[in-house]
Amino acid sequence: MYIRDIYKTKKLPISYEIFPPKGELRVEELRGTLEALAGTEPDFISVTCSAGGSGNGKNTAALTGIIEREYGIPAVAHVTCVNSTRSGVDEVLEGIRGQGISNVFALRGDKLPGSETRDFRYGAELVRYIRNRTDFCVGGGCYPEGHVECDDFDADIRHLREKQDAGAEFFLSQLFFENSAFFRFIDKARAAGITAPIDAGIMPIMGKSQITRMVFLCGASLPSAVIRMVNKYENDPAALLQAGMEYAARQILELAESGAASGIHIYTMNKPEVAKFEMEALRHAGF
């Protein structure tokens, strides 16, 4: 099933992001995780290129294939380009197609240390390349607080419009911890003529080190409520996880009730208990 068709039939699609096993770990070792995630009945699952979201990990295609064939859940394979040649991207796409996957998520990706930009510079170029050569349904990334490497928010919105014009059919947002940022972003995006579905990306707080790393990587701002929560529970991991899931649930419910988000995309970090908690909160509220 094409992801674009899900938005035509579902009022608020709920999706998850997971990552393939690290190093030489086999995809088979994620069976338990997949079983638990499938039990919560998400509308689709996206699979990153690696644990860090960068590079075309060899397990991405295999994992998306298992999700679709064995669990009947539409899957989206991430494809990055900044460190790739056109032939390299072609090879990745062929591997994804070989698994019977119809949907890809096109990203620039993180530039590897010491590497040079090759045939692609920006995500929009990859979106256009895929749409011109294949029949994949192509999604793209968006950044409610602006891309960490772009100092001009209006320029960031223009870049998003370029992705849509290049053929992106849906967008999954970078994580954020303050819904007001997403609401401002949506207003700007719609005013700029961006009509494609835009899902709000939510990552429940699972630990202090995770928050520090995510803020550094993506530039997400931390509201005072999150800072107080992390400080209060930093020496109690279980309590911090619970508080983090509850905070994310409040975010998700406000977003769902507002109607601003086309869907909710949960960064699960391969933790089924997180997905289950957020899905139960949504269903309890009637979504």
Q: What is the pLDDT of residues 145-178, one digit of tens each?
A: 988 787 788 999 999 999 999 999 999 999 999 9
- At 204-235, the pLDDT tens digits run 998 888 887 877 788 888 999 999 999 999 89
CA distances 137 to 79, 104, 127, 227, Å, are: 12, 6, 10, 39
- Residue 264 φ then ψ, to 5°: -120, 125
- Residue 173 φ then ψ, to 5°: -85, 155
**Quick one: tokens of 209?**
């080190």
Q: Say if CB 88 and CB 55 are below 8 A apart.
A: no
Q: Return the pLDDT at 23.
A: 59
- Tokens 């060899």 belong to residue: 58
Longest dimension (CA), the chain: 52
Residues (pLDDT < 70) of the chain are: 23-25, 50-57, 111-117
Q: Return the pLDDT at 19.
A: 92
Please give the radius of gyration of the chain, using alpha carbons only, rounded to the nearest integer. 18
Amino acid at 146: G
Q: Say if CB 82 and CB 113 are below 8 A apart.
A: no
User: How many CB atoms lie under 10 A from the CB of residue 222?
Assistant: 16
Q: Return the pLDDT at 148.
A: 77
* Whole-angstrom distance, CA of residue 12 vs CA of residue 5: 13
User: How many CB atoms lie under 10 A from the CB of residue 276?
Assistant: 16
Q: Return the pLDDT at 52.
A: 44
Q: Return the pLDDT at 268.
A: 95
Domains of the chain with bracketed CATH: 3-284 (3.20.20.220)
The per-residue DSSP string of the chain comes to: --HHHHHHH-SS-EEEEE-PPSTT--GGGGHHHHHHHHTT--SEEEE-SSTTS-S--THHHHHHHHHHHHH---EEEEEE-TT--HHHHHHHHHHHHHTT--EEEEE--PPPTT----S--SHHHHHHHHHHH---EEEEEE-TT--TT-S-HHHHHHHHHHHHHHT--EEEEEE-S-HHHHHHHHHHHHHTT--S-EEEEE-----HHHHHHHHHHH-----HHHHHHHHHHTT-HHHHHHHHHHHHHHHHHHHHHHT--SEEEEE-TT-HHHHHHHHHHHHHTT-
Q: Return the pLDDT at 69.
A: 95
Catalytic residues: 17
Q: Return the pLDDT at 120.
A: 86
**Given CA atoms 48, 189, 246, 236 in this order, what sign does their dihedral have?**
positive
